[in-house]
Each structure stands twice: as structure tokens, then as C-alpha cells.
Chain A
Amino acid sequence: MNALRRNVLKGAAGAGTVAVAVAAGLLKPTQALAGVPRSAFEAKNVGDALKNMGANAPADSKDISIKAPDIAENGAVVPVEVTSGIAGTTAIAILAEKNATPLVADFSLSGGAEGYVSTRIKMGQTSLVRAVVTAGGKSYTAAKEVKVTIGGCGG
């Protein structure tokens, strides 16, 4: 009787451990899916976002071009195009510096993908749009100011 009870308890504890391990394991693939940890997307300022991305003090580069409007009438839809002329570009991240969470998107490029991405972002207010390019394990950056007349992040 006692022995059985012990076994049941042991079994329950064992199952619990497995469940925890699975839960911990399940968290990993989501983080590994993109090049940048999700914590970088939750950072509230540019410095923290860059730190969480692992891009400390990226060097300014003239080989990155950002195509975005000088004045965006509607901050909810701001077209942004980033072209990197740096050889061996493996990732491009886009940040809107004054957004509540500056990191907007991160693109990991492979398999022949060129150093180019084009998308549409939301901007809460006039700020710099920053591109951070990773090439050969190093980070490079460039920025362009976009003036926003109607913010796209408010209610």
C-alpha cells in the first residue's frame, strides 16, 4: 500500500518534470525562429533594442540606403525600403526610433536573398527611421528622418 503510494507520487513528480521540460523546450523554437530574440521587440528604447539584438554600437555606413518619404501624411502606413550595398549582408532590421517599441522588424536573409527589403511601417510621431544591417558578424547602420503629420500608433 505504502509502496504503491510512493510510486504514484514519484510518477506524478516525474510527469510534472517532463511537462516543465516540454514547456521550456517549446519556448526555444519560437525564439530561434527569427534571428532576433523577441525581447528586442519589447524594448522601449533604441539602445535597449540594439542591445537585445546583439548589435552594440553599430558603425555608420554610407552603403545602406533607406527609401522612405520625407513627410508621411499618415503615420499608420509609411513605406520603407532598405537596400544594403554591403557584401555578405545576412540581416536587415528596421527601427522607428520614437515608437513605443522601436524595433519594427528584423529580416534574416539567406539562400541568395539580396540585401534588400521593402515594407510598410507604423510611426507614432516624427522620428528617425533606422536600418541596422548585419554583414560578416558586424553591425552597420544608417538613418533617415521621416516627418509624420498624423500618428499611426494612437487611438
Chain B
Amino acid sequence: MAEPMRIRATMAGDVADVKVLMNHPMETGLRKDAKTGQLIPAHYITDVTATVNGTKVLDAGLSGGISKNPYLGFRVKGPKKGDKVVVNWADNKGDKNSAEAIIG
């Protein structure tokens, strides 16, 4: 099972500021294990989607070039306090995770 993901969403004027922190090793597949000299297999998040009250606001494609435990920040105009943000990700090994937060 994947580790939990943290979302913080706050209103600043009429814009919701959403910050997402995902737990993931984000292995590029190009790195070698220091002890064995073997390549560490690629393992990274490939897709992240976000919705606010069911409306898709973000559809991101990622690569192994994103840092370990990816951080993602985006802004959405229009929502109100109490609206629900849902973030989903999927990685190249078929692992998935989803989390939601209420805009405060």
C-alpha cells in the first residue's frame, strides 16, 4: 500500500491555493545501487489528477525528473470555503493513491 498523501487547500481572495505532498521514491531507473552496482528499476508517478467539487482542474504527466516525495502547488479560481479537493496519482508500476481535503 502506498503511503498517505497530504493536501492543504486555503482560500486567498477568490483563488484557492492547493499544495499537495505525495510520498513516493521517484526512481528514474538511471540510478545505480551503491552497494551492488545494479541499476535501481524505475519507479515514479506518471499521472496526477486533481478535481475541485468534481470538476477537473489539473491533469499532470510526471517523469522521474520530479524530486522524491513530489510537491505540487496549483491555484484554482472560483471555489468557496468548504469545497472538496480530490487528488489522485498513479505510478509506472500500477500503484495508485487518492486523497481529499476541504478548502479552508
Contact = CB atoms under 8 A, between A and B. Distances in A.
A101 B61 CA distance: 14
Given A104-B66, A119-B70, A120-B70, A41 B28 contact: no
A107 B73 CA distance: 11
B75 A119 contact: no
Interface of B is mostly: strand
B8 interface: no
Contacts of B5: none
A144 interface: no
Interface stretch (A4-12, A16-24, A130-138, A147-155): A147-155
B6 interface: no
B63 interface: yes
Given A105-B66, A121-B65, A153-B31, A111 B72 contact: no
Given A100-B30, A119-B73, A107 B65 contact: no
Interface residues of A, number: 39
A36 B65 CA distance: 16
Interface string A95-120: 01001110111111111111011111
Interface residues of B, number: 37
A121 B67 CA distance: 5
A118 B63 contact: no
A99 B28 CA distance: 11
Interface string A26-46: 000010011110100100000
Contacts of A36: 61
Interface of A: 30, 33-36, 38, 41, 76-79, 81, 96, 99-101, 103-114, 116-122, 152-155
Interface of B: 15, 26, 28, 30-34, 46-47, 49, 51-52, 55-68, 70-79
Given A109-B58, A116-B74, 15 more contacts: A33-B59, A41-B63, A79-B71, A100-B28, A101-B65, A106-B60, A111-B56, A112-B78, A112-B79, A113-B74, A114-B15, A114-B76, A118-B74, A119-B73, A122-B64
